[in-house]
Structure 1
Amino acid sequence: PDIEAGGLVPGTTLGRPPAANNPVAQAAIAQANALHLSSQLRPEKRDAEVPESFSLTLGKTFDLGNNLELGVVLAGTSSNGDEATRDITFGRSLNPGPDGTSATGDDFLNRTQNEDRYMSYAGYGLLGSIGLRAGDRHEISFTAFRNHRAEDEVVQARRIRDRNSSFGEYAGPGTNTSTPFGATAATFQGLDSIIPLRRTLDLLQATGHHEVGDEDHPYELDWQYSRSSSLEERPGTRTTYFSQLDFTDPSIQNIPGAVYNPSLGQIDTLWDVFGLNPPASETFRETLRTSEESANSRMDLTVPVWNDGEDWFKLKTGVNHFDRTREVRGRLFTYTIGQTLNDQLGSVDGGQYGIDFLNWLNGITGPNGLPIFNGHANGNTSGGIFIDEDTASGNTVRNVDAGTTVTAAYLQGDLKVGDWSVIGGARFESEERTFEVLRGLNPTGTIVPFTSVKNDYLLPAININRNFGDDDQFKTTFAWSRTVARPTFFEFAPIRTVDQASGDTFQGNPNLTDTLIDNYDLRWEWTPEPTSLLAVSLFHKQLDSPIAQAYSLGDRTFINGDSGSLQGVELEGRKRFLEHWTVASNFTFIDSQLEFQQQNIFGSQTGSTTFDGQPDYIFNLMLGWDHEELGLSATLNYNFTGSYLTSVPLGAAEPPVRRDDYHQLDLVLQKRFELSQGVGIVKLNFGNLLDSTDTQRFDGTDLIYSSYRRGRTYGLEFEYRF
């Protein structure tokens, strides 16, 4: 519903539920009903749909005469289906135990839970392109593109145990909390989240290439202009919290005075068993919308300076301008269960009222037929539920404007003499980054006025190649360059969001600085025949103020390290043998080092670790068989990704989070055959055949950060080319 910011009326707070003619109450009821019915609060179960996808590409070139050709391409894709990931083990906020030191055997997690995740998706893509070519020297093309994808994700978290919360661990006989069920239960929180997501990207682009002068070494002009707009909407994320009572938990038998009755099973109820005021967690709905507009223009000029047959020297220069603006808007509405209603949920009909009310929560009347919104907003006495807007309270930042402008120019020389080639030059880049945390739409303490950060860089580079041997089958390459890595919008913008399913907080860091990188690469390759390759590559990167993802007690942010380095070696090979067989493989060893400031009880100290997201080892192996006459082929792909950090700890007492080694095996079978005027292709895809467990754990412990199996996938694909 269209409710202006700050315009939501929670209801009257005076006395008991108001009379029917109370204007404040009636306005509150009307707004609450409209907001509540805008999208259902809790998910409903349905049968899964088998994923489907479809694509069509049409292209044709028309001869217009006078050495003119017109090319047209039209393409479209669509896809839809369901996905599910079940039995996710989840843990957060490691507590080092009584000794205050992690990885010593007495650690435990402050928050644990189990999750099932379901996703329904649908999307389409459209592309149209038209190009005009005048001989081999002039070409202009225009392209329009749209991609849209919609997702509805459901997260069902169960057995949430949070030691930092006031929500207790047991209720019933033998405890200080009574229940109407006559037995003792282990108590947990549960939640259902529905997370809709809509993404749309539109792109318009024009490009051109022109040549004049000598045909072998012409003057060349290349240009491009593009505009794009993207929209990401989460139009109605909603999360429902409730209590879970597990009467089957065997630990109940260890409680003096407890009554163990596992026949009662497990119960989900809207009743807050412990009557917490304020509650440990409130049901809410949230909207978030991110829109972005960008434009990019580029022009490059190549000037031949000298040429002598196959040797030459060229100068290339160009300019580029990129501009992007981004607007983020969001609102938060919370549901408060009045204390009077909460007492009724746990007492009426022997507690059945709270169970039924949870199941009736998608409507606007309760199990007793009375409206759940009665216009009364006094949390201590209300016999209903009321909705309030909390967009500008707490410490969550949703409403931010930001922008980026980059202007660049470069000069480059390209020299080829015999078997040697050298390309070198320098690029100048000037960037301005802006952001503003808007007043009136965010919590008062989070407001940041319009802020601008400007940086200028001169970035040189050189690349040297040498070919040698019979038919130039050997090639060596040395390259050095200086580059800059800038923080992304979500890394630098001071947006603070909370993932309600996990409790994780994500906080951008407006104090981030750019990372300057010196890149060194040395490569040797041998191509004894067109289908065979053997190559060795050495690389080294030296980073000044590298950006890394960091965490502290479940809060995630981004930091600048003091320094960092990445170095390693890659081995690559490809060979065709026995007429129909091909084997290809590559192995990469990566040694990374990050120096950054960690906090301890004495202040700060320099910590040293590997980079997040950088495994020590990566190995890929492809085995292929192809029989052209039979139209049959098979490809087996294996990937091994070694263990790596997913984030570094801000505090010295916390261990990093590390992903375990991961193995993946995929198989593709294909049959080609003649069909009418074209060729038909049938593919069978078998994905993730090993179904390995994807596990992240707190380093040095057996405590799980997250763990789940992706599941095997099977696909049938048909393609027709004509």
Structure 2
Amino acid sequence: MRKQIHARHKLASAIALISAGASAQTLAQEDDGFIGKPVLEEVVVVGRLQSVAASLVDERLELPYSADFMGFEAISRAGDSTIGAALRRVTGLTLVDNKFIYVRGLGERYSSVTVNGAAVPSPDLARSVIPLDLFPSSIVESLKIQKSWSQNLPANFGGGAIDIRTRSVPSGPVASISVGTGFNTESDDGLSYPENGASPMPGAIRFAINRYRGDLSTSNIRDTENNAGNSITNEQAEQIQRDLILSLNRNVAISEGSLDPDKDIKVDLGNAWDVADNWVLGASLSGAYSEQYRNKDQKERGVGNPDRVSSETQRTARDERTTLALLLGAEYTEEHSVQFSSYVINNEYDEARITAGYDGNNTPEDQRQYLSYETRLEERELTLNQLKGTHRLGEFAPVEWLAPLSLDWFYSDAEATTDIPNASNFSGSIDRSTDPERRFISQSATAGQFEFLQLVDEMESYGGEISLPIAVGYDELNLSSGWWASQKTREYYGYTANVGTRATEGTPQTVFTDERIADLNNAFDLAMGSGFGNESYVAAQKVNAVFGGMDYRMGESWRFALGARWEEYQQAVLPVDLLDFTGVPNQQLIDALSDPDQTFAVADDDIFVSAALTYMGTDLLGADEFQLRFGVSETVVRPDLRELADVAYIDPELSVRVFGNPNLQTTEVKNAELRGEFFYEGGDNLTISLFYKDLTLPIEQVEGAGSDDDTVLTYLNGDSGEVYGIELEGLRTLAAGFFLSGNVTLSDSEIEITSNNEVTNTQRRLTGHSEYVLNATLGYDSADEKHSAALLYNVSGERIFFAGTSGNDDAFEQPFHSLDATYSWYPTMQTSVKLKASNLLGEKREFEQKNASGRAVQILEQEVGTSVSVSVSWKY
């Protein structure tokens, strides 16, 4: 058997050493022409940012299918505090809302995110994918971004698969602490409300919903009590209702004041111990805390009549995050290891808004504007426990050729929860014709709204893979097989309590007082329900899969991989009316499930195939070494639970209402990619990729039925679609310690929709697709290794936010030119100081749409501001 069965060429080995931050003066070469283990006679630390940039081309050389990698050092050197921010640097990836990654112009529904290979639930109410700003970069060891599908990945694959690989148990003593602060230029002063401005749904309201069967009107309260033998008057029934209104937390007085600076702290402790012959135990405990305030002021205009329908929103958000991580591991020799990881990630997002605008009832001529006062507290938590192991048969093999047999396995149990204990919305107006400070509360049955929402998403995932490399002469055959499964349950419960009143002069804190509500001479009323249909649903999803593949290396030039995956998929999404007390619970749903054409529950299974061919050589495009890859596969993209649920919810980021569509169908995807990777002396490299995707029944987000001042979105299937393009990525060493790295993606897409006659453009680009994405880094590393600096630029072309209907054109999010700067100083081997400035150009998020008359309207503009941060770190 060959001594090193995964041998690489000399230049590839050199790149690997550069990626580790070191260069070897001597590489030992075996007589048979293959490279043995590198022998380092002299190690010289070279570069910091440059070595990080080179690391993107290291591990991917060993994979038969194209992928990109980013290690912890790459993330740290660029100053990225979250995974989402770091992934902007990867070819063909676009960061949206600072949370979600679009791969090759396909929206987040076409991407999957796993943690150490395991499926993990998302605590985000409006997206199916985990928000990547939830994970601090401090817990990450590396990121794998695979754009060419292989059989060991879930078949639900469109643009790409992102695997977050968390840190391993330390091999020795570890102690580190980092403290940082910062500010944003748009966030000196902002809005806030009392800390007790949000509380869980009152028990009195829950009791009343059950007792009065969802109808809290005074007449129903009186009738229910009388029928139960508790004779009460109309006045007593009204008093019961007033007590229910008083139980709602109305202490949401929004005020303006100065905002605190950013806070950030990270602590990490760990060690490893030799406990017996060949046995090593390790453990680490780490924590991270951050808090920041950001103003996200918005301007909106109605596309149909922008001169008369518009609004301005003053908006402040507080984002607090806490992460705790515990790692325990055991290793026997170098062939067996087991690790247990436990993570608890908390995110508290608190927001206050005041909106003033014009609509059909409040016009510029009357000098009257509508007002809304909103508060929202969203508490998200992700608890993740994982157990994984790696084993090699080695000395226990009954025959020598089985010694390389290896097994990798994992088990993951996770729960994501989101609680909105109280989101309030008060509607009113301001009459500027008489007194600019004169304010009113609207005469409406929904003058005050209180939303209570709870999401519980539980997911169990497990799998494993067995691999056996076999030497066939000077060739190598690697056989693999494995299994993968996940089980997910989701409960999504929402209530809306509406407090109505007559037109009353004042603000929420002066109108909805205890004294006014307790006085029965004042007109107040209480009713439950959002008015937009079901607010709740329950769902379950189950996936079982087995897979197998072969990877054959023929000499030094050719490599062929073939894989197949059988996957069984089951899903059920059932809308729930929590106010339904008809006596036959959900009878309509039961009847619907008996219909053979029902779409609430689906089950299917299929076989998915992938193939890849690689040619390796030298002296092409001036490269010392190159490899050409070609890969094809067939996959699917299934509708997410939230997209299928027949419920309405609010996308909190942009304040638009979204409706699910239970009639959505699965998208079938055919993938093809041709990639050329070229490597030069000194670590310079160039990668060129051509890709094509054919989509059947692609899922699109389109404009639904709504008013000019109330954007409503929904989902539907197009007939067909395609995406194709070219990606270029490279690293070039410059003089005097400078280097340039970057990537650009040029692509196009097309979708055809004939099944919906309301869509304005039946042929157009895919929603979320950008025709170009550009990432560039100009870096500098000082010769004494004490200073590193970089300018980082990122931009993507305009992309469709939603498809227009009723004659209005598609709405486009405009390009955002992001320019960041980082500087790092390393005064000692243990300490570092880092400075970062983000969005130096002061760009805003802007959305534009042409109306039926052809007029271009800026329907939404959101402030971002420039952020500056500094941190000081010490590491043992």
Partner-residue secondary structure (3-state), 1:227: strand
- 8 Å CA contact retained: 1:517, 1:544: yes
Say which is worse superposed, 572-581 or 145-154, in terms of deviation: 572-581
Say which is worse superposed, 300-309 or 143-152, in terms of deviation: 300-309
Partner of 1:696: 847
Letter in 2 for 1:372: I
Letter in 2 for 1:671: W
Provide the rounded CA distance (Å) in 2 between the counterparts of 1:535 and 1:502.
Answer: 37
Partner of 1:290: 455
Partner-residue secondary structure (3-state), 1:372: helix
Partner of 1:91: 301
Structure 2 residues not aligned, in runs of 5+: 1-201, 223-231, 594-599
Partner of 1:658: 812
TM-score where L is the length of structure 2 = 0.68
Distance 1:72 1:582, change over 3 A: same
Letter in 2 for 1:148: N
- 8 Å CA contact retained: 2:441, 2:447: no
Provide the rounded CA distance (Å) in 2 between the counterparts of 1:720 and 1:496.
Answer: 48
Partner of 1:467: 616
Partner of 1:360: 510
- 8 Å CA contact retained: 1:75, 1:126: yes
Provide the rounded CA distance (Å) in 2 between the counterparts of 1:47 and 1:384.
Answer: 37
Partner of 1:416: 553
Partner-residue secondary structure (3-state), 1:669: strand
Partner-residue secondary structure (3-state), 1:406: strand
Provide the rounded CA distance (Å) in 2 between the counterparts of 1:267 and 1:13.
Answer: 40
Correspondence list, 1:281-680, <5 A: 282-309=447-474, 311-338=475-502, 342=503, 345=504, 354-355=505-506, 358-361=508-511, 363-365=513-515, 371-374=516-519, 376=520, 383-390=522-529, 394-418=531-555, 419-441=557-579, 448-449=589-590, 451-469=600-618, 473-498=625-650, 504-552=656-704, 553=706, 554-597=711-754, 599-600=756-757, 607-629=762-784, 631-651=786-806, 653-674=807-828, 679-680=830-831
- 8 Å CA contact retained: 2:746, 2:772: yes
Provide the rounded CA distance (Å) in 2 between the counterparts of 1:501 and 1:423.
Answer: 43
Q: Deviations over 1:441-466 (max 9, x none)?
A: 36999964463111222110012222
Provide the rounded CA distance (Å) in 1 between the counterparts of 2:771 and 2:234.
Answer: 70
- 8 Å CA contact retained: 1:42, 1:192: no
Provide the rounded CA distance (Å) in 1 between the counterparts of 2:430 and 2:526.
Answer: 23
Q: CA deviation at 1:398?
A: 1.4
Size of the alignment, in residue pairs? Answer: 632
Q: Deviations over 1:599-630 (max 9, x none)?
A: 448xx898100011111111111100111515
Q: CA deviation at 1:421?
A: 1.5
Distance 1:446 1:501, change over 3 A: farther
Per residue, is there more strand in 1 or in 2? 1
Q: CA deviation at 1:488?
A: 1.6
Q: Deviations over 1:545-595 (max 9, x none)?
A: 111111134321111111100000111121122141110121110110011
Correspondence list, 1:63-78, <5 A: 63-78=274-289
Q: CA deviation at 1:714?
A: 0.6
Provide the rounded CA distance (Å) in 2 between the counterparts of 1:268 and 1:599.
Answer: 47
Distance 1:232 1:359, change over 3 A: closer
Provide the rounded CA distance (Å) in 1 between the counterparts of 2:280 and 2:653.
Answer: 56
Partner of 1:60: 271
The answer to whether 1:226 aligns with 2:364 is no
- 8 Å CA contact retained: 1:127, 1:144: yes
Partner of 1:254: none
- 8 Å CA contact retained: 1:688, 1:711: yes
Partner-residue secondary structure (3-state), 2:467: strand
- 8 Å CA contact retained: 2:844, 2:865: no
Q: CA deviation at 1:267?
A: 3.0
Partner of 1:239: 425
- 8 Å CA contact retained: 1:415, 1:422: yes
Q: CA deviation at 1:682?
A: 0.6
Distance 1:501 1:427, change over 3 A: closer
Correspondence list, 1:269-280, <5 A: 269-272=439-442
Q: CA deviation at 1:131?
A: 1.1
Partner-residue secondary structure (3-state), 1:673: coil
Letter in 1 for 2:363: E
Q: CA deviation at 1:41?
A: 3.5
Provide the rounded CA distance (Å) in 2 between the counterparts of 1:655 and 1:565.
Answer: 21
Q: Deviations over 1:68-92 (max 9, x none)?
A: 1112121110111211123x21124
- 8 Å CA contact retained: 2:441, 2:511: no
Q: Deviations over 1:195-253 (max 9, x none)?
A: 11000010111111111135896111111111001101111010011111123xxxxxx
- 8 Å CA contact retained: 2:262, 2:290: yes
Partner-residue secondary structure (3-state), 1:199: strand
Letter in 2 for 1:388: A
Correspondence list, 1:6-85, <5 A: 6-7=210-211, 9-11=216-218, 22-35=235-248, 38=249, 40-85=251-296
Letter in 1 for 2:373: D
Structure 1 residues not aligned, in runs of 5+: 96-106, 172-184, 248-263, 346-353, 366-370, 377-381
Q: Deviations over 1:51-71 (max 9, x none)?
A: 101111223221123111112
- 8 Å CA contact retained: 1:226, 1:295: yes
TM-score where L is the length of structure 1 = 0.82
Distance 1:440 1:630, change over 3 A: closer
Q: CA deviation at 1:483?
A: 1.4
Q: CA deviation at 1:300?
A: 1.3
Q: CA deviation at 1:482?
A: 1.1
Provide the rounded CA distance (Å) in 2 between the counterparts of 1:524 and 1:548.
Answer: 32
Letter in 2 for 1:43: I
Say which is worse superposed, 468-477 or 407-416, in terms of deviation: 468-477
Letter in 2 for 1:360: T
Provide the rounded CA distance (Å) in 2 between the counterparts of 1:501 and 1:42.
Answer: 22
Letter in 2 for 1:61: A
Q: Once the two structures are aligned, what percentage of the paired residues are identical?
A: 21
Distance 1:69 1:598, change over 3 A: same
Provide the rounded CA distance (Å) in 1 between the counterparts of 2:342 and 2:651.
Answer: 36
Q: CA deviation at 1:108?
A: 4.5
- 8 Å CA contact retained: 2:245, 2:499: no
Q: CA deviation at 1:507?
A: 0.6
Provide the rounded CA distance (Å) in 1 between the counterparts of 2:469 and 2:860.
Answer: 58
Letter in 2 for 1:302: S
Partner-residue secondary structure (3-state), 1:40: coil
- 8 Å CA contact retained: 2:719, 2:755: no
Q: CA deviation at 1:372?
A: 2.2
Say which is worse superposed, 76-85 or 2-11, in terms of deviation: 2-11
Per residue, is there more helix in 1 or in 2? 2
Distance 1:500 1:362, change over 3 A: farther
Q: CA deviation at 1:533?
A: 0.8
- 8 Å CA contact retained: 1:396, 1:443: no
Distance 1:14 1:229, change over 3 A: closer
Q: CA deviation at 1:24?
A: 2.3
Q: CA deviation at 1:270?
A: 2.4
Partner-residue secondary structure (3-state), 1:28: helix
Which of the residues 344, 347, 350 maps onto 1:152?
350
- 8 Å CA contact retained: 1:598, 1:605: no
- 8 Å CA contact retained: 2:573, 2:641: no
Partner of 1:104: none
